[in-house]
């Protein structure tokens, strides 16, 4: 049948489409030692209550995707959190280190599974968050510079950090 | 072009796809929906090759199928301007599909006049098109995303210009995407005389057919898990004879299509499958005989449309 030729390009594209592989930059342990060299880490089981989720969402204007926190107390002071934010196709796992006062000490992107936009790993871009604490407005294009061509990732990382700072103030500080 | 010679098309199309088979980093402008556009574009220097196959099926009766193929290459000129070029080629079969029981080829084959009760079967290069999409507002940093599409298409004795306004609003961490599209598309066809037409009619002689399409569509897409999204679209399609869209005496078909979409995307590949059905609420103001059981059966309308899009970023 002559119509068969119409499927040839489609089949060709599917044939060359390779499976996607996540690019893993750091393991959790590597991120911990990078942020807090020489420290030891004690995992703190913490599940947010409904009221806490509501309060965090209200304070950060960002949805809490998972009430179960991956949280570690750092022997030298501070907290280490592993979280994830929505990416273009998949979640973006990241680690956030907070100092004793709840200010952002460091951020590391653990994996990046998108074809473009890994500029969010740029240390200079991430440094915009350092020293920020709960209550900082942290809005993309105003307080945090946008990465052109990676707007969605930039926006969701910004929202995610704002949410984690609210999480610290509402649930972690008193833990 | 030699590429368009009958029998060599499959090899030529493979070559078109193969010549873009270079792997570099790029981003998605992957279509969440089959027929409606979002304001998401390739980033600067991003590249993509995309293949569409659209199956249009069933008219008033008899047998009718049209397979439309489109092979497209897109490039991100800037983060807010995407340029594309593509080739369109069709295959069709029709047999006694018109409302009066005669064989009526689809619109891209308007220059073909088969005997009224014969079987019609043809493969045709339809044309080449250039597309520019300019995003003026991003849904990620502005309250509403806004973009404009300009798409001139040229083929043998055929020219069309499509202008589309695209609106996008995101919710739920950008996992729920609402879109609205408004399209204005005038087209001009140079037609030979139809030997089966009334000798006193315009159609009997060589003539120029001018038609304007106006479409208004809304859709939603929801990413329910990593890599996968489902969506729904609905579009009102109107055809107007000549240019003046406000001249009611020139209004022709007015139909509504709707249906679901499933979409998959990963780092470099995407696929989108959409099924549209015409709702039996159509009107044809100029020729009411075109309405059969509530469906418009004119040359640009059919009962069912199924579109598969696959693409690769590099």
Q: How large is the average pLDDT for residues A21-38?
A: 89
Residues linked to residue B135 through DSSP beta bridges, in sequence order: B147
List chain B residues with CB under 8 Å of A90: 226-227, 266
Count of CB atoms situated within 10 Å of the CB of B148: 14
Query: Of all residues in chain B, what percent carry a pLDDT higher than 90?
Result: 81
**CB-CB under 8 Å, A12 with B140:** no
A9 touches chain B (CB under 8 A): yes
**CB-CB under 8 Å, A156 with B46:** no
pLDDT at A31: 96
Mean pLDDT of chain A: 88
pLDDT at A113: 79
**CB-CB under 8 Å, A156 with B174:** yes
**CB-CB under 8 Å, A2 with B91:** yes
Q: Which of A13, A14, A150 to mutate to test the interface with B (most CBs of B within 10 A)?
A: A13
For residue A156, the chain B residue with the least C-alpha distance is: B173
DSSP state of B64: E
pLDDT band at B259 (very low <50, low <70, confident <90, very high): very high
CA distance A89 to A110: 16
List chain B residues with CB under 8 Å of A156: 173-174
For residue B229, the chain A residue with the least C-alpha distance is: A89
Backbone angles phi, psi at B90, to 5 degrees: -130, 160
pLDDT band at B225 (very low <50, low <70, confident <90, very high): very high
Evaluate whether A105 touches A35 at the Cβ level (below 8 Å): yes
Output B34 or B9, whichever has higher pLDDT. B34
Tokens of A21: 């592989």
**CB-CB under 8 Å, B44 with A114:** no
Output B149 or A114, whichever has higher pLDDT. B149
Q: What angle do CA A103, A104, A110 make, to 5 degrees?
A: 155
Select the residue of B26, B50, B175 nearest A116 (Cβ to Cβ).
B26
Strands (E) across chain A are located at: 23-24, 41-43, 46-47, 68-74, 79-86, 91-98, 104-109, 111-112
DSSP state of A5: G
pLDDT band at B5 (very low <50, low <70, confident <90, very high): very low
List chain B residues with CB under 8 Å of A63: 172-173
CA distance B80 to B166: 13
Query: Of all residues in chain A, what percent carry a pLDDT higher than 70?
Result: 87
List chain B residues with CB under 8 Å of A16: 17, 21, 312
pLDDT band at B22 (very low <50, low <70, confident <90, very high): very low
pLDDT band at B48 (very low <50, low <70, confident <90, very high): very high
CA distance B221 to B147: 18
Give the tens place of pLDDT for each residue, A122-138.
899 999 999 999 988 88
pLDDT band at A149 (very low <50, low <70, confident <90, very high): confident
**CB-CB under 8 Å, B140 with A116:** no
Residue A45 Cα, gap to closest chain B Cα (Å): 26
Residues linked to residue A81 through DSSP beta bridges, in sequence order: A71, A96
Residues linked to residue B270 through DSSP beta bridges, in sequence order: B265, B311
A75 touches chain B (CB under 8 A): no
Select the residue of B25, B28, B310 nearest A13 (Cβ to Cβ).
B310
**Residue A6, pLDDT above cutoff 60:** no
Q: How large is the average pLDDT for residues B259-269?
A: 94
Q: Which of B14, B25, B29, B51 to mutate to test the interface with A (most CBs of A within 10 A)?
A: B51
Give the tens place of pLDDT for each residue, B78-98.
999 999 999 999 999 999 999
For residue A88, the chain B residue with the least C-alpha distance is: B28
Tokens of B151: 């798409």
* Closest to B37 measured CA to CA, from B299, B312, B272: B272
* Closest to B309 measured CA to CA, from B59, B69, B23: B69
Evaluate whether B256 touches B279 at the Cβ level (below 8 Å): yes
B143 touches chain A (CB under 8 A): no
ipTM: 0.81
**Residue B12, pLDDT above cutoff 80:** no
Residue B209 Cα, gap to closest chain A Cα (Å): 28
């Amino acid at each position: 049948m002559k119509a068969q030729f119409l499927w040839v390009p489609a089949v060709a594209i599917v044939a060359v489409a390779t499976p996607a592989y996540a690019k893993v930059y750091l393991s959790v342990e590597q991120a911990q030692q990078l942020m807090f060299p020489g420290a030891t880490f004690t995992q703190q089981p913490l599940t947010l209550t409904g009221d806490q989720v509501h309060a965090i969402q209200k304070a950060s204007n960002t949805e809490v995707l998972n009430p179960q926190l991956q949280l570690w107390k750092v022997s030298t002071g501070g907290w280490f959190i592993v979280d994830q934010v929505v990416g273009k196709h998949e979640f973006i796992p990241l680690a956030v280190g907070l100092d004793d006062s709840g200010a952002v000490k460091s951020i590391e992107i653990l994996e990046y599974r998108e074809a473009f936009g890994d500029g969010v790993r740029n240390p200079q871009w991430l440094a915009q968050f350092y020293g920020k604490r709960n209550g900082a407005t942290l809005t993309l294009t105003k307080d945090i510079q946008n990465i052109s061509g990676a707007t969605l990732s930039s926006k969701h990382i910004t929202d995610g950090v704002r949410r984690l700072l609210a999480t610290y103030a509402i649930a972690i500080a008193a833990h | 072009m030699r590429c368009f010679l009958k029998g060599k098309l499959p090899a030529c199309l493979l070559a078109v796809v193969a010549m873009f088979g270079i792997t570099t980093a790029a981003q998605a402008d992957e279509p969440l929906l089959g027929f409606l556009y979002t304001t998401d574009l390739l980033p600067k220097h991003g590249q993509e090759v995309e293949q569409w196959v659209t199956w249009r099926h069933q008219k008033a009766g008899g047998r009718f199928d049209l397979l439309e193929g489109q092979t497209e290459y897109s490039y991100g000129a800037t983060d807010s301007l995407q340029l594309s070029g593509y080739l369109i080629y069709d295959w069709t079969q029709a047999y006694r599909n018109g409302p009066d029981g005669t064989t009526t080829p689809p619109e891209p084959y308007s220059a073909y006049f088969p005997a009224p009760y014969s079987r019609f079967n043809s493969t045709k290069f339809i044309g080449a098109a250039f597309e520019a999409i300019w995003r003026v507002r991003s849904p990620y940093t502005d309250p509403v995303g806004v973009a404009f599409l300009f798409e001139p298409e040229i083929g043998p004795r055929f020219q069309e210009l499509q202008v589309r306004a695209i609106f996008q609003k995101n919710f739920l961490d950008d996992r729920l995407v609402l879109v609205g599209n408004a399209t204005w598309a005038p087209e001009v066809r140079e037609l030979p005389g139809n030997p089966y037409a009334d000798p006193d009619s315009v159609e009997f002689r060589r003539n120029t057919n001018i038609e304007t399409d106006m479409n208004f569509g809304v859709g939603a897409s929801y990413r329910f898990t990593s890599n996968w999204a489902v969506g729904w679209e609905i579009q009102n399609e109107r055809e107007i004879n000549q240019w003046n869209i406000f001249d009611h005496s020139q209004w022709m078909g007015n139909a509504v299509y709707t249906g679901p979409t499933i979409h998959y995307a990963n780092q470099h590949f995407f696929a989108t499958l959409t099924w549209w059905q015409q709702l039996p609420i159509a009107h044809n103001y100029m020729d009411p005989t075109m309405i059969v059981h509530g469906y418009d059966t004119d040359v640009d309308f059919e009962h069912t449309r199924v579109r598969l899009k696959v693409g690769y970023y590099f």
